[in-house]
Amino acid sequence: MAIFDLLEEIYFALSANKIRSFLTVLGIVIGIGSVIAMVSIGQGAQGSIQSSIQSIGSNLVIVTPGAQRGVGVQVSAGRGSAQTLTQADADAIQKEISSIKQIAPELTRRYQITAKGQNTNTSITGTTPAYPEVRNIAVGEGSFIDAQQMASYSKVAVIGPTVRDDLFGQGAEALGQSIKINGVIFKIVGITQAKGGSGFNNPDDIVYVPLTTAQRFLAGDAYVTTISIEAQDQSSMASVQQQITILLLERHKISDPAAADFGVLTQADIVATASTVTSTFTILLASIAGISLLVGGIGIMNMMLTTVTERTREIGLRKAIGAKKRDINLQFLMEAITLTFLGGMIGVGLGWLLAYLVSLFAGIATSVSWSSVFLAFGVSAAIGVVFGYYPARRASQLNPIEALRYE
């Protein structure tokens, strides 16, 4: 049987019952479409999380305080709230660890700030002049905190654009104005460039002050909440991480590394952790969508079995006039594959559209990868083979004379 004739037969067979063919295809369209859309949302999330992690700096090693854990005892204080890192730790790291390019300890707490009767509650980060370079922050107007301001406990502040907009109004002139942080008056000397981002970790909704000032006038102690370190290069990150761990364990007099009261993370660790989370998320989404694909496949099988029963006499006739088993088998298998392939094609389009709409209306980044498109085609054709195989086999094995007598 020539390929063109086969296609013609398939066309006639499928168009004989358009609604049924359409509904069956719809099952596959929804299955493939949701797989594509879900995977694109997952991959989009992965991409945007990774790029936001990359944007916080390069070759970054971050030291955070953590509750000291006794053996078998869970102390219920979250990482970050514990006060185990001090200014002295930061100084020791700077002095004793090699392959460090920059170090920027910080003390971040939330305070109420007011200016001209407006007030807002935001993160106040006390830090050192190295911070912009380590954490990839650019100053738009004015300048960042300098060493002299550090040394003299100056009450100066560099604010993020969101804070400026909240306190002084959208895009208003804020340089040189005064703000009151926790009752202490600070003078604005710089405004950072907008970095973008939203939610509770908005890099633009932040106020920077000298670390010394923050420790003396705001926190009243010499603890730090994070120490950011820029390693010399990518290859030295692991060694920096290791050296810091050893140094701090020694300084904190802890012999068991598992009981450390601090954490040392490299940027790569953060990316890896985020990746496992987002890929689990992607797999979860894809498998939910995969179930609808499976249901679509069962729909194909159901339709093909019905078709074979309905067309028993036709199959008998075809065999009587010389069709071989293989001809009948191929015809019905190809009918199933045509349905799923058609469904796959429309489904890819639908998935693409869904992904586009999601990023348009929900603001979630999506990315439809070619690999998921090709996979969808492969999977839909495979579904046709798998779910079409049994009905086609049944058709091809019919005895011609019994099939002709079938009512």
Partner 1 sequence: MIEISDITKLYKNENVEFLALKNVSFKINDGEFVAIMGPSGSGKSTLMHILGALDTPTSGRYLLDGQDVALLTEDELADIRKNKIGFVFQSFNLLPRASVIRNVYLPLVYSGVSKEERVRIAEEKLSATGLPETHFHHLSNQLSGGQMQRVAIARALINNPSLILADEPTGNLDTKTGDLILETFKKLNDAGHTIVLITHEPEVARHAKRIIHIRDGSILKDEILR
Residues that bind partner 1 (CB under 8 A): 1-2, 4-5, 9, 12, 16, 313-314, 316-327, 400-401, 404
The Cα 233–Cα 284 span in angstroms is: 36
Name which of 172 and 401 has its Cβ closer to partner 1: 401
Least distance in angstroms from the C-beta of 316 to partner 1? 8
Name which of 43 and 307 has its Cβ closer to partner 1: 307
**CB neighbour class for 62 (10 Å; exposed up to 12, middle 13-18, buried from 19):** buried
Name which of 13 and 206 has its Cβ closer to partner 1: 13
Question: What is the CB neighbour count within 10 angstroms for residue 168?
Answer: 18
- φ, ψ for residue 210 (rounded to 5)? -60, 140
Name which of 237 and 398 has its Cβ closer to partner 1: 398
Which amino acid is present at 144? F
The Cα 301–Cα 384 span in angstroms is: 8
Least distance in angstroms from the C-beta of 22 to partner 1? 17
Least distance in angstroms from the C-beta of 359 to partner 1? 46
The Cα 345–Cα 349 span in angstroms is: 7
Least distance in angstroms from the C-beta of 1 to partner 1? 6
Q: With CA atoms as reference, report the closest residue to 111 among 77, 147, 157.
A: 157
- Per the CB < 8 A criterion, the answer to whether 35 and 284 are in contact is no
Q: With CA atoms as reference, report the closest residue to 140 among 90, 176, 194.
A: 194
The Cα 340–Cα 71 span in angstroms is: 58
Least distance in angstroms from the C-beta of 318 to partner 1? 7
> Distance of CA 48 to CAs 236, 319, 364, Å?
26, 59, 9
Question: What angle is formed at CA 348 by the lines to CA 344 and CA 351, rounded to 5 degrees?
Answer: 130
Least distance in angstroms from the C-beta of 2 to partner 1? 6
Name which of 20 and 79 has its Cβ closer to partner 1: 20
Least distance in angstroms from the C-beta of 41 to partner 1? 44
Name which of 113 and 392 has its Cβ closer to partner 1: 392
The Cα 287–Cα 274 span in angstroms is: 20
Question: What is the CB neighbour count within 10 angstroms for residue 291?
Answer: 12
Dihedral sign for Cα 198, 108, 84, 94, please. positive
How far out from the chain centre does Cα 391 lie?
42
Name which of 5 and 173 has its Cβ closer to partner 1: 5
The Cα 355–Cα 365 span in angstroms is: 9
Least distance in angstroms from the C-beta of 314 to partner 1? 6
Name which of 251 and 313 has its Cβ closer to partner 1: 313
Name which of 108 and 331 has its Cβ closer to partner 1: 331
Least distance in angstroms from the C-beta of 5 to partner 1? 5
Q: With CA atoms as reference, report the closest residue to 78 among 91, 69, 87, 90.
A: 69
Quick one: tokens of 194?
């907008």
Name which of 141 and 314 has its Cβ closer to partner 1: 314
Q: What is the residue whose two structure tokens read 């979630």?
A: 364
Least distance in angstroms from the C-beta of 336 to partner 1? 20
